[in-house]
Amino acid sequence: MPIKFGFPKRHASQAEFYRRVRSDKYKWHVALCGRGWGKDVVLSELALAWLLDPGVNKIGWFTHSYGDAMKNIEQFMMYLAPAIQNFDIYRSSPYRIVHRPSGNSIKFYSFERPDLIRGKNYFSRVIMNEACLLPNTDWVTAVQPVCNFAKTVIVSGTPQVGSWVRQFFDEGLTDNNRVSTFNRTSFDNPLINPLEIQAARRSMSDAQFRQEYMAEWVADGDVFSGLQNMFVLPTFAPHSNRTVYGVDIGIKNDYTVVIGMNKSGEVVYFDRFRGLFGDDLLTRIMAPGHSHPGIFVIDETGIGLDIAYRAMLMANKIAQCAVIKYNINGKTKQDLIQSLLFYVNGGLLKAPIEGDGMPEFREEMRNFKVYLTRVGAPEYRAPNGQHDDTVMALGLCISGLKLIQQ
């Protein structure tokens, strides 16, 4: 008599997805569904089916946090309970479950440590839960190479604008044999009382509800609409009698950016670099002040606090130079971007069409977006895996512009 595991009966929508994956017609399955649809349940059932299949199946289950990984493990163990004697459980990191008769296994990983996933090219099946929360850079450098070797990859979660998942989602909407896209709302689970979903609608913003319950890609917003009127100078503008410099300090993979502007709001200097530390970093930042003195507005957040202090000491030795510290936090960043919006979209700034670093300058400005947070508040930033250091340096520049216009 076959063992009956502890899974609840699939509703019609879950059964449709289960059949599609088990058909092995597609390698990639993108399943973006609303809250309560039952993603974790059907993913667990698919993982178990692969464990019991004949042949060799090594399964990797990746999710966005350690806490979520433990939740997935506990749920999976609950379903295995009727036949737990057929499985070996290894609780050391990574958590591993082995089906004794077949030798097939499943390992659980968190996106919080993508370095632990890198190089695990032996997985024949990969499940990514809450995949949209995996940063684009970690996807490209650590997880995608692992998926390339797998026979089947499930990309599951809720849409998050700016995620690498969108490319696969869109491809699956076309008629192809590589990617299957499965997109369902919370209403597609008949076990959820529709009145409960409607109550949730009243407790959150429309955009948040559409994303979390209707599983929609809530459109991101372009921030700067006046870029065509900004990049118009044939080359860097001449300095005025004093220059303002905006300095955004980069850490790890981010860039340090220095932007200089004259009192007419024209860009006279641009430097974007990374990989320098200590005195080398400080010397590079302050270099333009020797030939064209001015005011340096420096982000003092994190490592910037020490850099700003040391820059103040150096500025005291350079004629007509000064340093102003600017602390970027949630509130001040909003103010900075709002001010920058006024200048850029109002046609009050001018930058070169050509010149060193200008392609990167334009790209960061174009890619800078406004997103809605889970409580419906606007959040200004670059898409996951991209940079906004130039945007922040320009904002710092604007904050000091009035000081040289007096």
Domain match, 273 and 186 both = no
At which of 157, 181, 212 does a domain end?
Answer: 212
Cα dihedral 66/70/71/76 (nearest 10) = 140
Q: Do residues 147 and 92 both lie within one domain?
A: yes
Q: Which residue bears the tokens 């064209």?
A: 292
- Note whether 31 and 171 are same-domain residues: yes
Q: Residue 117 above 80 pLDDT?
A: yes
Assess whether 260 and 167 both reside in one domain. Answer: no
> Are residues 192 and 78 part of one domain?
yes
Instruction: Indicate whether 284 belongs to any domain.
Output: yes
Q: Can you tell me the mean pLDDT for 341-354? A: 91
Q: pLDDT tens, 367-395?
A: 888 776 555 567 788 877 788 999 999 99
Cα dihedral 37, 40, 41, 44 sign: positive
- Mean pLDDT of the region 207-229: 80
pLDDT attached to residue 201: 84
Is residue 219 included in any domain, yes or no?
A: no
**Residue 189: band (very low, low, confident or very high) from pLDDT cuts 50, 70, 90:** very high
Tokens of 201: 């609608």
Q: Domain with 275 in it: what CATH number?
A: 3.30.420.240
Question: What CATH number does the domain containing 43 carry?
Answer: 3.40.50.300
* Euclidean distance between CA atoms 395 and 341, whole angstroms: 9
The pLDDT of residue 400 is 92
Q: Same structural domain for residues 113 and 251?
A: no
Q: End of a domain among 154, 185, 212?
A: 212
Query: For residue 357, what are its two tokens?
Result: 């670093």
Confidence category of residue 219, pLDDT binned at 50, 70, 90: low
Number of domains the chain contains = 2
How much is the pLDDT for 241? 87
> pLDDT band at residue 1, thresholds of 50, 70 and 90?
very low
Query: Where does the pLDDT of residue 270 fall: very low under 50, low under 70, confident under 90, or very high at 90 and above?
Result: very high
**pLDDT tens-digit map of 280-295:** 999 999 999 999 999 9
| pLDDT classification of 180: cutoffs 50, 70, 90 | very high
Is residue 248 a part of any domain in this protein? yes
Query: CA-CA distance, 174 to 338, in Å (whole number)?
Result: 39
Phi and psi dihedrals of 215, rounded to 5?
Answer: 55, 45
Distance, CA of 290 to CA of 317 (rounded, Å): 10
**Alpha-carbon span 246 to 259, nearest angstrom:** 5
Comparing CA positions, the residue from 225, 239, 314, 295 lying closest to residue 269 is 239
Per the structure block, which two tokens stand in for 229? 């009127």
One domain for residues 174 and 277:
no
Report the distance separating Cα 77 and Cα 72, nearest Å: 9
Range of the domain at 182: 12-212
Bridge partners (DSSP) of residue 126 are 60, 153
Comparing C-alpha atoms, which of 155, 56, 58, 175 is closest to residue 106? 58
338 has pLDDT over 90:
no
User: Does residue 5 lie in a domain region?
Assistant: no
Contact predicate 337/393, CB 8 Å: no
**How many Å apart are CA 36 and CA 187, to the nearest integer?**
9
Identify whether residues 206 and 83 lie together within a single domain.
yes
Same domain as 332, residue 375? yes
Assess whether 169 and 246 both reside in one domain. Answer: no
**3-state SS record for the chain:** CCCCCCCCCCCHHHHHHHHHHHCCCCCEEEEEECCCCCHHHHHHHHHHHHHHCCCCCEEEEEECCHHHHHHHHHHHHHHHHHHHHHEEEECCCCEEEEECCCCCEEEEEECCCHHHHCCCCCCCEEEECCHHHCCHHHHHHHHHHHHHCCCEEEEEECCCCCCCHHHHHHHHCCCCCCEEEEEECHHHCCCCCHHHHHHHHHCCCHHHHHHHCCCCCCCCEECCCCHHHCEEECCCCCCCCCEEEEEECCCCCCCEEEEEECCCCEEEEEEEECCCCHHHHHHHHHHHHHHCCEEEEEECCCCHHHHHHHHHHHHCCCCCCEEEEECCCHHHHHHHHHHHHHHHHCCCCEEECCCCCHHHHHHHHHHCEEEECCCCCEEEECCCCCCCHHHHHHHHHHHHHHHHHC
Output the pLDDT for position 221.
Answer: 66
Cβ count near 252 (within 10 Å): 5
The count of C-alpha atoms lying within 13 angstroms of the C-alpha of 224, restricted to the half-sphere facing its C-beta, is 27
Mean pLDDT of the chain: 90
Model confidence at 200: pLDDT above 90: no
* Whether residues 115 and 152 fall in one domain: yes
pLDDT digits (tens, 9 = 90+) for 118-162: 999 999 999 999 998 888 888 988 999 999 999 999 999 998 777
Any domain includes 327: yes
End position of a domain, from candidates 188, 212, 236: 212
- Tokens standing for residue 141: 């450098």
Q: Is residue 1 part of a domain?
A: no
